[in-house]
Chain A
Amino acid sequence: MEILVCVRRVPDTSENEIELNTAANDIEREDLVYSINEWDNYAVEEALQIVGRVGGNVTVVTVGGEDDEEVLRRQMAMGATHGVLLSDEAFSGSDGRGIATILKGFVQKGHYDLILTGVQAEDGGAQVGGMLAAMLDYPFASLVNSIEVLPGKLKISREIEGGNREMNEIDLPCVLSIQTGINEPRYVGMRGIRQVASIPIPTLGVAELGIDASCVGESAAKVKRVDYFVPAMGKGAEMLEGSREENIERLVDLVTAKGGLK
């Protein structure tokens, strides 16, 4: 089975102190460390496990710049056969629809039985997977937390609110958005990344993908970010300030007072 996984490089929320920049239109990006979007990591692992069972190849693709090669390398170190970077001046400032358009151009250049995305990106809007499926006219399932390969189709389960599961059969080719917890992603260390360091990662732009440049990028974006802010403290919210010990004590008191602890 030929599987394409669309991935994205995001600031690692567990290793950064995210702060607004002075202009308050973005986060402070100096000193940030980036990593693979967590959901995408599960998607790649799932793809690798599927080809481990039924054979095939996993290709990872991302839309971005030179810096984003890092996440492709990491996923190749995990076991992905190919990594492709979709990069072009014209892509910058694309909204979700623009990204989906770029990815569609790439999908149509190859033959993929299955396309996976993460449910959402840590800094995204959970929109690309669905849009890509619609543009390709492929069936789509979101929040997928198990996949079983059947002839010509998949048996998948989706996470339903409240922890329930819904079982579906979906025809191939299709697009799935993968939920965290579907598997336990394997570890990738520096050594693994070094071992794939010399594998070339092709960069494809507007021309190679055959995309109309006017359909992507900032000029084509119909969703624009207008502000970025930390929400004001709402009614009933209280920030505990003090040492860790004091905070813990205060928290326990509060929870006890509300009847959460007996």
Chain B
Amino acid sequence: MMEVMQPPTLASSWLMYWHLLFLVTHVLGIACFAYIVTRRLVPLARAERDFRFNQPFVRLRRVLRFWLGQWRHPRYRTAGIIHLLIFASFILLVIRAFSLLCFRIGDNFAMAGFSGSAGHTYDIITDYAATIVFLCMGVAIIRRVVFKPARYAVPAKYGRDHTADAIFLLALIALLMTADSLFAASTAAGRLARNEPFEGLAFLSLPWILQRTLLSTSLATLWNLRLGAYFVHQLTFYFLLCYRPFGIQFHVETSLFTVFFAKLNRGTVKPVRWGIDDERLAQVKSLGVKKFEDFTWKHMLDFYSCADCGRCSDNCPANAVGRPLSPRFISIKARDYCFQHYPMLGRANNGTPLIGGIYSEDEIWSCTTCGACEEECPLLVEYIDKIVDLRRGMVDDGNVPQSLQKPLKALESRGNPYGKVEKKKADWTKAQDFQTTCKVNIVDGSKVADTLYFVDSVTSFDDRMQSIGRATARILDHVGENFGILGAAERDSGHEVRRFGEETLFMALRDHNAEAIKASGVQRIVTADPHAYNALKHDYRDIPPVEHISQVIAREVKTGKITFNPLENGSVYTYHDPCYLGRHNQVYNDPRAVLDAIPGLKRVEMSRSRDRSFCCGGGGLMLFYEPKEEQRMGVKRVQMAAEAGANVIVTACPFCMANIEDAIKVAGLEGKMTAIDLAELADQQIAREIPKETAVHGG
């Protein structure tokens, strides 16, 4: 009787060979994986430093949210849900996979893993998990083959299509699930055939279905099937494990680390070199990223983690208008470079320049740093810091487009990109009808103020944008703010200077402004320019707190200091989120609250709004850059507003205004569409005791 209870082949000598085979496969699989991962870590060890170990609890929370919680995946509904199901199932299956691999096979038809009712519940869950993964693989393959979402396409200039590779991996996972289920099914069938105690498989799960088909199978065949399933599972498992680090599936291993080490501070730009302060920067021989090893280890980890899902590029405005930039391929090309130059066997062949090698100059200058890619990436892969680092490298080599050299030179000598004379910085306050109604003091030591209105270059010097400056001043005046401006002492905030890679010039502008601000003795700063706002808030240190004018208006609407006259013009308004107010600083609600506080204002949302807002074309130096593009971003944006049924675009940024007003003309929507700044609209609608004559825009 004991013989019967024994597995039928236990006595036979070839079971020994099976065991040996399993053992060898285990050892080889693990050794291979360890070797591959070690080789993959080589470039990370040669990379630049990166400081990512602060705030561990914040990082853990983000792991829970973005990694375990898959927070960003459902932003793409179908793919997101599929991924969520696969991810959750994988997490559930991990224990079973390990127990399958670790537990010695051959101890009867024993179920690997837990025992008791907890074990049984777990088995039921994993039966379903394996089934879900199997089905999801099917759906994913069908999506890839039949529906072919555009974001997976690989434009010819970026190399061959990735579909075959994706399907191969999906099929392997399906095979893994089949083998796993077949093992469970043959185990169950075997126990059933021998009348051993057996807890049923999950109803209608893949193992359950397979077990049904095995009911009349002989015990010997079942035993062989079981061994076979085990071996196929084992082989597939290790093959996947060792194959993943060669492609997009490596994110299975690396994503946890990428999310944990992800950048925490929105709106900031990484320092040129971690651990090297501004004073010592002058002694650094080479700035920025010029060769692959100049990237930080975290940025290299990003390259490994990119899952090639294409969401970044799908949301990238530069990509949308045909500029030679696709964030997805910033990662993919760098990864390909890394794999090629750090081979599994042999010495690393490193040090070749990236610009002109895998990246083109235009590609790197095409980015408006709008942040749409980073907002979308489920793995929190960073792009802006890499782009800025690559630009720093180009600037350091003198490799700057001619169109940007003049404004940069003007910023150096005049403190503004237009080369305007400093003493004319406050000329916008001298408009005739404005000067008499609203006094704007220059805080230069003789005059003191509580609040500084930081105007910045475009609002100071551009004829059209000066109106935003005057509206802002009138609003501050209306709420009784004791405010002033720096006048000639104010230089450009340097926001784009920094993001275009000219760190040294940025530091000079920042230091000059910071000193002037501190000398002015103001308690707080207000600006109507989100780029200045972002710079003052994130790039400057030790200066008073800064607010955007939309935040001031929203607050004063709440306190009742600001009330609006009703708007009865039949127009439909839509709000365009400026990148540096919205995505980079999360100010989405205040501007909308202001609009909604204007009685009679009809407001609609564009399909792309809030954190999916579509960049107008970029601010600051981007206005000087001459990109290669098929269409203007602004034109696309204006068309989106038209689609939403709006005929007035409200924005809260002078650069958005410049781009959108131009785009309205280019799109041939003049007369049908207008643009107005939130400050201008608020100023125009504020209920004042004394009627005031102002230019009325929009509406």
Chain A residues with CB under 8 Å of chain B are 12, 14-17, 31, 33, 35, 78, 184-192, 194-195, 243-244
CA distance A190 to B406 in the complex (A): 14
- Chain B CB count within 10 A is highest, among A12, A186, A187, A194, for A187
Decide if B287 touches A191 in the complex (CB within 8 Å). Answer: yes
- Once A189-B504, A190-B504, A191-B282 are accepted as A-B contacts, the answer to whether A15 and B396 lie under 8 Å apart by CB is no
The interface residues of chain B lying within 8 Å CB-to-CB of A15 are: 409-410, 413-414, 419-420
Decide if A187 touches B395 in the complex (CB within 8 Å). Answer: yes
Decide if B464 touches A244 in the complex (CB within 8 Å). Answer: yes
Decide if A189 touches B419 in the complex (CB within 8 Å). Answer: no
The interface residues of chain B lying within 8 Å CB-to-CB of A12 are: 409, 413, 419
Closest Cβ of chain B to A164, distance in Å, is 24
Within 8 Å by CB of A187, from B400, B413, B420, B503, lies B400
Closest Cβ of chain A to B529, distance in Å, is 20
Q: Is the interface of B mostly helix, strand, loop or mixed?
A: helix
CA distance A16 to B404 in the complex (A): 18
Q: Is B693 an interface residue (CB 8 A)?
A: no
Decide if A16 touches B419 in the complex (CB within 8 Å). Answer: yes
Query: Which residues in window 399-424 of B have CB below 8 A to A?
Result: 399-400, 402, 404-406, 408-410, 412-414, 419-421, 423
The interface residues of chain B lying within 8 Å CB-to-CB of A78 are: 398
CA distance A243 to B508 in the complex (A): 34
Mask, B448-490, CB within 8 Å of A = 1, is 0000000000000001100000000000000000000000000
Decide if A189 touches B414 in the complex (CB within 8 Å). Answer: no
Q: Is B502 an interface residue (CB 8 A)?
A: yes
Instruction: Taking A14-B406, A16-B421, A191-B282 as given, write out 9 further A-B residue pairs in contact, using a Cβ cutoff of 8 Å, ordered by the A residue number.
Output: A31-B423, A186-B397, A187-B400, A187-B404, A187-B408, A191-B287, A192-B398, A194-B504, A243-B463
Closest Cβ of chain A to B83, distance in Å, is 44
Q: Is B330 an interface residue (CB 8 A)?
A: no
Q: Is B669 an interface residue (CB 8 A)?
A: no
CA distance A14 to B624 in the complex (A): 14
Closest Cβ of chain A to B180, distance in Å, is 59
Q: Is B105 an interface residue (CB 8 A)?
A: no
Decide if B414 touches A191 in the complex (CB within 8 Å). Answer: no
Residue of A nearest to B419 (CB): A15
**Number of CB contacts from chain A to chain B under 8 A:** 60
Q: Is B192 an interface residue (CB 8 A)?
A: no
The interface residues of chain A lying within 8 Å CB-to-CB of B85 are: none
Mask, B277-289, CB within 8 Å of A = 1, is 0000010000100
CA distance A15 to B415 in the complex (A): 11
Decide if B413 touches A35 in the complex (CB within 8 Å). Answer: yes
Decide if B405 touches A187 in the complex (CB within 8 Å). Answer: yes
CA distance A115 to B624 in the complex (A): 34
Q: Which A-B residue pairs are the 7 nearest by beta carbons?
A: A186-B398, A15-B419, A187-B400, A191-B504, A33-B413, A187-B398, A190-B504
- Chain A CB count within 10 A is highest, among B414, B423, B508, for B414
The interface residues of chain A lying within 8 Å CB-to-CB of B463 are: 243-244
Decide if B502 touches A33 in the complex (CB within 8 Å). Answer: no
Decide if B505 touches A189 in the complex (CB within 8 Å). Answer: yes
The interface residues of chain A lying within 8 Å CB-to-CB of B414 are: 15, 33
Within 8 Å by CB of A190, from B397, B400, B402, B505, lies B505
Closest Cβ of chain B to A112, distance in Å, is 24
CA distance A185 to B405 in the complex (A): 9
CA distance A78 to B410 in the complex (A): 18
Decide if B421 touches A189 in the complex (CB within 8 Å). Answer: no
- How many residues on the B side are at the interface (Cβ–Cβ under 8 A)? 29
Decide if A190 touches B421 in the complex (CB within 8 Å). Answer: no
Closest Cβ of chain A to B392, distance in Å, is 10
Decide if B399 touches A186 in the complex (CB within 8 Å). Answer: yes
CA distance A189 to B405 in the complex (A): 9
CA distance A33 to B413 in the complex (A): 7
Closest Cβ of chain B to A152, distance in Å, is 31
The interface residues of chain A lying within 8 Å CB-to-CB of B420 are: 15
The interface residues of chain A lying within 8 Å CB-to-CB of B505 are: 189-190
Decide if B412 touches A191 in the complex (CB within 8 Å). Answer: no
CA distance A186 to B398 in the complex (A): 5
A–B Cβ pairs within 8 angstroms, 5 of them: A16-B421, A35-B413, A187-B405, A187-B408, A189-B395
The interface residues of chain A lying within 8 Å CB-to-CB of B406 are: 14
Query: Which residues in window 366-412 of B have CB below 8 A to A?
Result: 395-400, 402, 404-406, 408-410, 412
CA distance A128 to B410 in the complex (A): 28
The interface residues of chain A lying within 8 Å CB-to-CB of B413 are: 12, 15, 33, 35
The interface residues of chain B lying within 8 Å CB-to-CB of A16 are: 419, 421
Decide if B409 touches A35 in the complex (CB within 8 Å). Answer: yes
CA distance A69 to B81 in the complex (A): 66
The interface residues of chain B lying within 8 Å CB-to-CB of A192 are: 398
CA distance A190 to B412 in the complex (A): 8
Decide if A188 touches B282 in the complex (CB within 8 Å). Answer: no
Mask, B500-534, CB within 8 Å of A = 1, is 00111100100000000000000000000000000
Closest Cβ of chain A to B492, distance in Å, is 13
The interface residues of chain A lying within 8 Å CB-to-CB of B508 are: 190
The interface residues of chain B lying within 8 Å CB-to-CB of A33 are: 413-414, 419
Closest Cβ of chain B to A193, distance in Å, is 9
Closest Cβ of chain A to B460, distance in Å, is 15
- Chain B CB count within 10 A is highest, among A184, A191, A192, for A191
Residue of B nearest to A197 (CB): B282
Residue of B nearest to A35 (CB): B409
Residue of B nearest to A194 (CB): B282
The interface residues of chain A lying within 8 Å CB-to-CB of B503 are: 191
The interface residues of chain B lying within 8 Å CB-to-CB of A35 are: 409, 413
The interface residues of chain A lying within 8 Å CB-to-CB of B398 are: 78, 186-188, 192
CA distance A239 to B420 in the complex (A): 21
CA distance A78 to B409 in the complex (A): 14
- Chain A CB count within 10 A is highest, among B398, B404, B408, B504, for B398
CA distance A15 to B504 in the complex (A): 21
The interface residues of chain A lying within 8 Å CB-to-CB of B412 are: 189-190
Closest Cβ of chain A to B376, distance in Å, is 33
Residue of A nearest to B283 (CB): A195
CA distance A209 to B463 in the complex (A): 52
Within 8 Å by CB of B399, from A14, A187, A243, lies A187
Closest Cβ of chain B to A250, distance in Å, is 15
CA distance A184 to B395 in the complex (A): 14
CA distance A33 to B508 in the complex (A): 17
Closest Cβ of chain A to B625, distance in Å, is 13
Decide if B502 touches A14 in the complex (CB within 8 Å). Answer: no
CA distance A190 to B494 in the complex (A): 14
CA distance A185 to B406 in the complex (A): 11
